């Protein structure tokens, strides 16, 4: 957001800057609308997966696939969320979740049950959730560094992200499976 100019945005949209200001008033309002639209797809999708009665491994597969599917189409989302949540954690959390935080506790309980049944190796549920999230989020936050180090273009990066939809789930499941 910091590098974007309203004139550039208006030019890309094929409208004049006055019209852009009329509808959105400021760059912050425009980005908020864009973010809310993308977040309106992501957060309910994740919440429905966490709330579902799916077996643990299927939940992990659905989480990584669906999260990456949405973020591939909205690659600005993870960095925008991280920047905004670091500026105003409480206000931003309330803006995205309202009074209903993602039901991560349901996944944590399911993980504990699977450990108790000896279906998976003992792991702190918080670490498992962080592993899933970080493996999905980091490539988008670190995209310029990844592209530079690996000498890949946008198409190659996107192809890698498509592969990660199943690769992350396979990796996570293999790490906890008994």
pTM for the model? 0.80
CATH of 38-176, one of 3.20.20.80, 1.10.150.650, 1.10.357.10, 3.40.718.10: 1.10.357.10
Take residue 77 and report the two structure tokens written for it: 């989302």
Strand partners, 98: none
pLDDT of residue 8: 80
Give me the mean pLDDT over the 147-151 stretch. 97
Give me the mean pLDDT over the 59-84 stretch. 89
Annotated domain spans of the chain: 38-176
Residue pointed to by tokens 């309106």:
40
Give me the mean pLDDT over the 59-78 stretch. 92
pLDDT of residue 3: 65
Single out the residue of 7, 1, 27, 8 nearest to residue 87, CA to CA.
1
DSSP 43-102: HHHHHHHHHS---HHHHHHHHHHHHHHHHHHSTTHHHHHHHHHHH-HHHHHHHHHTT---
């Amino acid at each position: 957001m910091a590098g974007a100019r309203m004139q550039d945005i208006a030019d890309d949209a094929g409208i004049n800057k006055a019209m852009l200001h009329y509808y959105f008033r400021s760059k912050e309002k425009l980005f908020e609308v864009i973010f809310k639209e993308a977040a309106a797809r992501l957060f309910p999708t994740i919440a429905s997966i966490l709330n579902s009665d799916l077996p643990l491994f299927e939940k992990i597969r659905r989480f990584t696939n669906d999260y990456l599917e949405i973020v591939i189409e909205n690659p600005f989302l993870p960095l925008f969320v991280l920047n905004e949540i670091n500026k105003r954690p409480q206000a931003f959390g309330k803006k995205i979740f309202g009074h209903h935080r993602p039901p991560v506790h349901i996944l944590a309980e399911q993980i504990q049950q699977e450990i108790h049944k000896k279906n998976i190796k003992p792991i702190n549920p918080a670490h498992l959730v962080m592993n899933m999230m970080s493996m999905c989020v980091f490539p988008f936050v670190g995209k310029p560094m990844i592209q530079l180090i690996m000498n890949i273009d946008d198409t190659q990066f996107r192809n890698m992200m498509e592969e990660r939809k199943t690769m992350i789930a396979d990796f996570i499941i293999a790490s906890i499976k008994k």
